[in-house]
Structure 1
Amino acid sequence: MARSLTSGFAPGTPGRAHYSDTNYQLLGRVIEVVTGGDYEQAVRRRIAEPLGLRDTWLFTPETRGRYDEVAPLLNGRAPLRLPDAMASAGPDGGLVSTAADGLRFLRAFLGGELFPASYLERMTSTWNRIFSPIEYGIGIMRFAPPRWYSPLAPVPPLIGHSGASGAVLFHAPDHDLFISGTVNQFRHRSLPYHLMLRLIGRLV
């Protein structure tokens, strides 16, 4: 028997959001229907190839044999072998990339190379709280630590996205600062954010 889930707030409630990977799975399916191909083809033909992202590819049932080519995923100190899980993630997190390719993508994403700049304005016009200090626009995150997070060196708001494995890809518009990287860590979810705070404190 299926269990029903009750939302904590009504759809469209101002200032409220709930993150769900299901939304990305649905979006991936929309892309496949519109383009007439699979999601991997769309990523390769519309993003990776035009931007020259030579080290960016998607885990799929056909590419799961390349699992050992990437840096190991960890749960604390224990390595994880999740090729089947990664191959099933698709639009909500099955992408392999490098810090350099991530920076190239983020610059293109914010700079209007992938879609009109007016789309980004709409995506970032309203921020809804998920949990402090993470807010969500339309398909994009804002990491906006309150002053007490770093009282001696206030951290500027960052827009971009993070991933469950500790991947971060953010931009600080106030300082034109870009951050791309990963800790490949599932257990310590806050680790990349603490590292970003330390890094930004040294740079701004």
Structure 2
Amino acid sequence: MGRAPKRLQIIADRLTRTSWHNGVAMSLYDRSTGREYHVGSGALDSRTPYFATGTTKLYTTSILLQLIEEGKIGLDDPFLTYLGHDKQYEELLVREGVDYTDRVTIRHLMSHTSGFGDFFLYKYQARTLKHAIGAGVDTAWSFDEVVQRSRSHGAVAVPGQSRKALYTDTNFHMLGRVIEAIEGENFGEVLRRRVIDRLGLTSTYLYCDPSDTRPINFMSKDREVRVPRTMASFQADGGIVTTSREALIFIRGFFEGYLFDKRILPRLYHWRPMYFPTEYGVGLMQIKVPWWMSLPHRLNAPPSRFFKSAPRSLGHMGLGGTICLYAPEAGVYIAGTVNQLLDPARSVIASIKMIEDVAYGGREDGAHRRGAALVGSPPAR
């Protein structure tokens, strides 16, 4: 473990000096040196619990990959194979008068190509971040209500037919129920047994009790909001609590084969555009920030780095500025949160700065280090 470079601390401190951040925590691992770096500022440090939100989907994906490995589930199996053709699911996905529900596969759910409408927000209003959580409205829902809302919001595409990944929390909520049906226990227990215990995590868990005050409150612009009933309802699509230190252990375990055979990873790298500059594969994101978008944060960088694209990152980001990423060409892992609901770009910018500082340091040439890329990592396009 190494002492965090001063530059990393400066990045975090600049955020917490504003009224929009009560805390920032980031943990990084440099594959070329084997060093970890942990940065905390404000009310957050690398051991402070926070809501993992959308990065929870990576944990769910890791469980599904284990089930595939064990022959308990198939990527191209209809999800109703495991939930049964119950009346509850009839006409759940109807497009132009045709019910496509029984054609939705596990792959469709994992890749956000199912065509389901979103139970959480009507037809992607989340992309403008105009959501109840940001206003501090705390509501709860059950699985049955997820199904009812998704049906009433309507299908947005025929399964597998959209050119883009149409992100909806409904997909991973359904996958959580599939996992429970296969394993015969609730998602929190499966998570503990298949991920938490395997990696020796002690501060990571599924948030189920609204009276639990351990996770730090979200910031929404310049005010704190507490929405425990909402967070206890997300489950497999966004309900995990973790720390940056333990999220770093997880993302390394995901890509380095500690949770499943990493040779399966290339099967996930079938990218579709989602919202720029993010693409979605099967259960994970790819973030490719072009040079012109990253230029504003490079004003103090060596001139040779001005026109280089930011390091490509694989993993996931989530509501509230959470990230859990691996930059294969840079050979750097990063996990943590900037804990701000209404400006997701801040976590991406902070992660780019920190990845580049760890990977390239003060080198004037900014050259990529040899041999850092993970075996099995997809080629850059």
TM-score (normalizing by structure 1): 0.90
Does the alignment pair 1:101 with 2:246? yes
Identity of aligned residues (%): 33
Distance 1:18 1:58 in 2: 25
Residues 3 and 42 of structure 1: CA distance in aligned 2, closer, same or farther (over 3 Å): closer
TM-score (norm 2): 0.49
RMSD between aligned residues: 1.8
Counterparts of 1:106-121 in structure 2, within 5 Å, are 106-121=251-266
C-alpha separation between the residues in 2 aligned to 1:123 and 1:52? 26
Which of 40, 55, 65 pairs up with 2:211?
65
Q: Determine whether 1:200 maps to 2:345.
A: no
Moved over 4 A (4+): none
Match of 1:74, SS? strand
Correspondence 1:25 to 2:173: yes
1:47-85 CA-partner distances (Å, limit 9, x unpaired): 10111110101111xx3222x212121111111111111
Task: Please report how far the alpha carbon of residue 14 of structure 1 lies from its aligned counterpart in structure 2 after TM superposition.
Answer: 7.1
Q: Which amino acid aligns with 1:76?
A: K
Larger radius of gyration: 2
Shift, 1:11, TM fit? 3.7
Alignment-mate amino acid for residue 198 of structure 1: K
Q: CA deviation at 1:202?
A: 2.7
Work out whether 1:130 is the aligned partner of 2:274: yes
In the alignment, structure 2 segments of 5+ residues that lack a partner are 1-150, 296-305, 361-381
Tell whether 2:332 aligns with 1:177.
yes
Per-residue CA deviations over 1:127-176 (Å, capped at 9, x if unaligned) read 10001100000010001112322351421210000111211010001121
Structure 2: distance between partners of 1:28 and 1:130: 22
8 Å Cα contact 1:48-1:54 kept in structure 2: yes
Q: Which residue of 1 aligns with 2:126?
A: none
| AA partner of residue 336 (structure 2) | G
1:150 aligns with 2:277: no
Structure 1 partner of 2:187:
39
Count of residues in Structure 1 that have an aligned counterpart in Structure 2 = 198
Structure 1 unaligned regions, length at least 5: none
Post-superposition offset of 1:200: 3.1
Higher relative contact order (CA 8 A, sep 6+): 2
**How far apart, CA to CA, are the structure 1 residues paired with 2:283 and 2:333?**
18
Cα distance between partner residues in 2 of 1:4 and 1:73? 27
Aligned partner letter, 1:103: L
SS of 1:28's partner is helix
User: Helix, strand or coil: the match of 2:274?
Assistant: strand
